[in-house]
Each structure stands twice: as C-alpha cells, then as structure tokens.
Amino acid sequence: MTELTLSKAIGSGLRRALSDDDRVVILGEDIGALGGVFRITDGLQRDFGADRVMDMPLAESGIIGMAVGLAYRGFRPVCEIQFDGFIYPAFDQIVSQVAKLHYRTRGAVRMPLTIRVPYGGGIGAVEHHSESPEAYFTHTSGLRVVTCSTPQDAHTMIRQAIACDDPVLFFEPKRRYWTKGEVDEDADFPMDAARVVVTGTDVTIVTYGPLVATAIDAAAAAADDGVSIEVIDLRSLSPLDLETVEASVRTTGRLVIAHEAQEFGGLGAEIATAITDRCFYHLEAAPARVAGFDVPYPASRLEEHFLPDLDRMLDAVDRVMGRENALTGWSAS
C-alpha cells in the first residue's frame, strides 16, 4: 500500500498501463515536458518517449479525431482534455463518431479509447474551467461514463478504463486532486459497481465524484442529530448501478441525490425517476435533489454559493424526513 493524492494515483495508473501494454498511448495539450496542467502525466514522456506520450496542438477535436484513428489501428489511446469546459469542440467527434463506430460497423470496429476530463468547481478557476458536463455524455448510447472520489478508485478505475474495449469518459473531480489515501496498485473491483461508503437506515444519499466527501460529512453531522444516513458513491454514471441504490432505498425509504451539475435534466432526475419506479411502495417521501443552480457556472468569488454544500445536503435530508429546517424554513405542514 502506498499513500498517494488522487492526482498522483491517476498518474500511477497511467504509468502502469503504459508499462503493461505497448498499445497504450497518451495524447493531449501540455502533457509531455510540462507533465500536464495538474502534473498528472509528469515524467511519463521522459520515461516512455514522445511517440507514446504526445503533446498535441490546442485543438480538442483534433485530439479526439487522432485517437479515433489510433484506435482503428489497434492502439489504446488515452486523451487528456485540459479542462471540462474545453470538451465541447470535441463533442461532435465523441457523440457522433466515438460512441457509434462499434454499432455502425456491426461490431467489426472497437473503440478502446479513454477520455480524461478534469471537471467540477471549487478551485477558484476562471470561466470554462469549472463545469460539470457529464450528463451530456450519459445521454449518448455507446459511451461509458465514470468518475472517482478516492485515490484507490482513481488508480484502479483509470487502468480499467484503458483496458476496456468500449470508449470511456473518465471524469476527474479536480477539487479532490489533492485528497490523500492508501492505494493498493493490484486492487480490483467492477468499474460499473457502486460503492456503499457509509451504511445507514434512515436516508440514502446517492452521489459521485467531488460530493462524496461532502455526503460523508453530512452522514456524520446527521448522526449527531439521531439520523442514520447511507452514502452511495455511484462510480459509474453510465451504466448506472441502480440495483445497489434500490437495495438501499428499500431499507431506508428515503432518497437524496446530489451532484454539482445543474439540476434540470441532470442525473438526479434520471435516478429519482428510476428509483421511484422500482421502489414506489417503499418510499416514505418523494426523492430530493441537491444540485447546482440552473444558471451558468458563476465567477469564482460566487462559486461557494453555487456548489452544493453540507447545509444544503442536510436541508434535503430534513425535507425527506419531513422535518422543519432552520436553513430554508421548510416545513412538511
């Protein structure tokens, strides 16, 4: 076991993938000599060469387009999109080409392509650097969409994403890049299986990526108030492990879904609908969502008001418990 930050754990996973498989190549902006804007690829070009760790021009559609060609030729390309808000120039390549080539060729062509995307807010960045675009990609059949919340998951899941024969969007919660934890480099678990982080009996909180740590804090705070919360880290956003969520809600009878992305049309709506359908007669209250507001991501000095925090998560817990709340003044009566 080695203690690593989440960012170093991703770098360690990339290094292991490059060592284990000569077909793995990495491409992106400033990932070579600089080692990436967050230094995740630091030292990889020096150790594996510029033919396998390639600096690319400032053109995201070109990065993904080149990766498609490499995948066609039998490589396993890993693309780095420097920040979440810069993925849109490559959107057409991803949803129109990467996602459909396997289906379009009736299985003759696989797309073992991994696209790494630092996402979410909380680091005081400027416009286009704090977005949560994951729902766009979960809406597209043919793509796997995953995210991590711990250094262990980051290391294991990036290797699994690279080894997967399907295209994988690998979303990295950038404000958790500096979170430290023990990493077993040989650990293994199903990439699309959700993880029960905290067990509880009164309320289920379902979340992923940057908000898992906030949900754990909410569970601890609620316990002091006599409420037992179960926290589920989804890990995979497409496909969704609804069986794990369903099993939890059948026990607790109450569901809160939390994500940083805007609420309208987000994953929270999909999960609330699916679980209501599966657990209608077990629910004690309507599911509640805690999400970013339906506005463009604000300037950094205002982002603490935009991002779901401990108070908003506990307010949602109070709502599904039918209790009055001092934060919003909400009451079931």
Residues 196/244, Cβ–Cβ less than 8 Å: yes
Taking residues 249-276, what's their average pLDDT? 98
Residue from 288, 278, 275, 282 nearest 322 by CA = 288
pLDDT at residue 331 in the model? 56
Question: What is the average pLDDT score of the chain?
Answer: 96
pLDDT at residue 329 in the model? 58
What is the pLDDT confidence band of residue 83, given thresholds at 50, 70 and 90?
very high
Q: Which of 102, 128, 129, 139 is catalytic?
A: 129
What is the pLDDT confidence band of residue 326, given thresholds at 50, 70 and 90?
low
Measured between alpha carbons, how far is residue 80 from residues 168, 169, 301 in Å?
A: 12, 10, 27
Asked if the model's pLDDT at residue 103 lies above 60, the reply is: yes
What is the pLDDT confidence band of residue 32, given thresholds at 50, 70 and 90?
very high
Look at the alpha carbons of 37, 143, 122, 7 in this order and tell me if their dihedral is positive or negative. Answer: negative
Determine what percent of the chain falls in helix, strand and coil, rounding each to the nearest 5: 40, 20, 40
Residues 189/20, Cβ–Cβ less than 8 Å: no
**Per-residue model confidence as pLDDT tens digits over 168-189:** 999 999 999 999 999 999 999 9
Taking residues 270-293, what's their average pLDDT? 98
Asked if the model's pLDDT at residue 327 lies above 90, the reply is: no
What is the pLDDT confidence band of residue 323, given thresholds at 50, 70 and 90?
confident
Respond yes or no: is residue 155 known to be catalytic.
no
pLDDT at residue 324 in the model? 72
Q: Which of 123-127, 300-304, 327-331 has the lowest mean pLDDT?
A: 327-331
